Structure 1
Amino acid sequence: MKAMVLAAGQGTRLRPLTDTRPKALVPVAGRPMIEYSLLLLRHHGIVDVVINLHHWGEQIEERLGDGKQLGLKISYSIEPELLDTGGGLLKAKSFFRDETFIVVNTDVMIDLQLDQLLKFHKEKQAAATLVLRPDEHADQYGSMDTDVEGRICRFLDKRIPEKHPGPTRKLMFTGVQVLEPKVFDYMESGSTPHKFSTTRQTYPRMLADQQPLYGFCFEGFWQDLGTVERIRQAEDSLARGRVGLHYLQNPDPLHNR
């Protein structure tokens, strides 16, 4: 299985830290932020990874190289202009070779067992499975509703055409998802890469076409790393032992560089 780590963003919420470096390399508890996503993937045997680059992207490529020092095989997808998640995925489409793949945001810290996520995705025969969590501030991140089986029935303000029976649960997206190549059929193709959103364009089209989109409800440790305050919250949780990330078991070369 292959994975993509989204690292092209400008990190505007982290300025001035990102004025001269990419968000992915902002330190969090002594490690570059992106390392948490990469080590999560490696721990679960996913070593073939593509990273999209834009803002100070050459620094990421210089720091990580081909990934050997992390036990990974890293490729890069360069975006001269920001393409958003949809455009970034479509530009890297050939990397996935018509296989199931995982997409992880750079700016999240999560203690997630990927094997459980992949089992859920396979059992549901989902076209896409998004890792969701209950949160009182869900609307700030883009909330969605799932039914009792975990099937997504609302994405932002887009609803499936027919009335959905039964109760729904309002959840927020954590920045981790499993996708099938089928999602590319619902993306805006063109002769040149262009910017578009999966949550605002691709997934609503899939919902309207009754494609199986599921939410994997996760209630373990998760922390957004998109602001200085939230980075400090994550560092405090680690320092006080309130959370132990299962994939930080072995020392890593990058941590000591």
Structure 2
Amino acid sequence: MKAMLLAAGLGTRLRPLTETLPKPLLPVAGRPILEWNLLLLKRHGITEVIINLHHLGEQIVQALGDGSRLGLRLAYSHEPTLQGTGGGIKQAAPFLKDGPFLVLNGDTLSDCDLTALIGAHRASRALATLAVRDDPDASTWGPVTLDAHGRILQINDNPPLAEPGATLPACMFAGIHVMEQTILDAIPPGPGSIIDVYTSLLSQGQLLHGYRMSGYWSDIGNPERYAQANRDAAEGRLTLRP
């Protein structure tokens, strides 16, 4: 299975740190965030990865090269204009069209069991399986509503539930997902969000599945969370390892 790391964002909430360094290269425990994500993929047997680039993207290429230093094969998708999560995946389609593929946000830290996620996806026969997690602030991140069998009913309260029934408490999307390659055909060309594609598929009755992940997860979205991630690593709460 191949994977894509989304690394093209501007990192505006982490300025001035990101004025001269792309957010995915910010170090945590002595390694760039992006490198920790690559090592997570490698730990689960995924060695072919494409990374999308925009803001200071040449620094990412210089830091990682072809990936051989990490035992990986890396490709890059350059975006002169930001394409968003949906458009970025669409642009990388030629690399991803061999079968199901994994997508991770390149600016989060997690020890998600990717092997279990992929297994859950294959068992579900869904078009996509999203890693979700319980979080008291799920509504802030954007809630994901599942039924008792793990089928996703809503993302960000869309589409409206025609027949509200038994649902589990809302959780949040962790920015880690497995997709069937047929989803690439559902993504319109140009900039856009993959979440909009997902809600459109849900409104058409297509099957999307949620995998409840456990373990560590952190979004490096602002200076406070970046500092907390470094504290977590120093205190052993973050089990990142080469």
TM-score w.r.t. structure 2 length? 0.96
Q: Take 1:15 and 1:188, find their aligned partners in 2: how far apart are those partners? A: 31
- Aligned counterpart, 2:232: 237
Identity over aligned residues, as a percent?
45
Q: Take 2:7 and 2:139, find their aligned partners in 1: how far apart are those partners? A: 23
Q: Take 2:58 and 2:184, find their aligned partners in 1: how far apart are those partners? A: 28
Does 1:228 pair with 2:235? no
Q: Take 1:164 and 1:128, find their aligned partners in 2: how far apart are those partners? A: 22
Which deviates more from structure 2 when the two are superposed, residues 45-54 or residues 176-185? 176-185
* AA of the residue aligned to 2:187: M
Q: Take 2:32 and 2:168, find their aligned partners in 1: how far apart are those partners? A: 38
- Aligned counterpart, 2:163: 163
Q: SS state of the match for residue 18, structure 1?
A: helix
Alpha-carbon displacement from aligned partner over 1:23-78 (angstroms, at most 9, x marks no partner): 11111121111011100001111000000000000010011000000110000000
Say if 2:113 and 2:213, in contact at 8 Å, map to a contact too: no
* Unmatched 5+ stretches in structure 2: none
Say if 1:186 and 1:205, in contact at 8 Å, map to a contact too: no
Q: SS state of the match for residue 19, structure 2?
A: coil
Say if 1:22 and 1:55, in contact at 8 Å, map to a contact too: yes
Does 1:216 pair with 2:239? no
Aligned length: 242
Does 1:5 pair with 2:5? yes
- Aligned counterpart, 1:253: none
- Aligned counterpart, 1:113: 113
Q: Take 2:181 and 2:168, find their aligned partners in 1: how far apart are those partners? A: 27
- Aligned counterpart, 1:255: none
- Aligned counterpart, 2:68: 68
Q: SS state of the match for residue 17, structure 2?
A: coil
Say if 1:37 and 1:106, in contact at 8 Å, map to a contact too: yes
- Aligned counterpart, 1:20: 20
After TM superposition, the structure 1 = structure 2 runs for residues 185-200 of structure 1, keeping only pairs within 5 Å, are 185-189=185-189, 194-199=190-195
Alpha-carbon displacement from aligned partner over 1:164-183 (angstroms, at most 9, x marks no partner): 43223201011111011121
Which deviates more from structure 2 when the two are superposed, residues 157-166 or residues 60-69? 157-166
TM-score w.r.t. structure 1 length? 0.90
Q: Take 1:29 and 1:2, find their aligned partners in 2: how far apart are those partners? A: 27
Q: SS state of the match for residue 182, structure 2?
A: helix
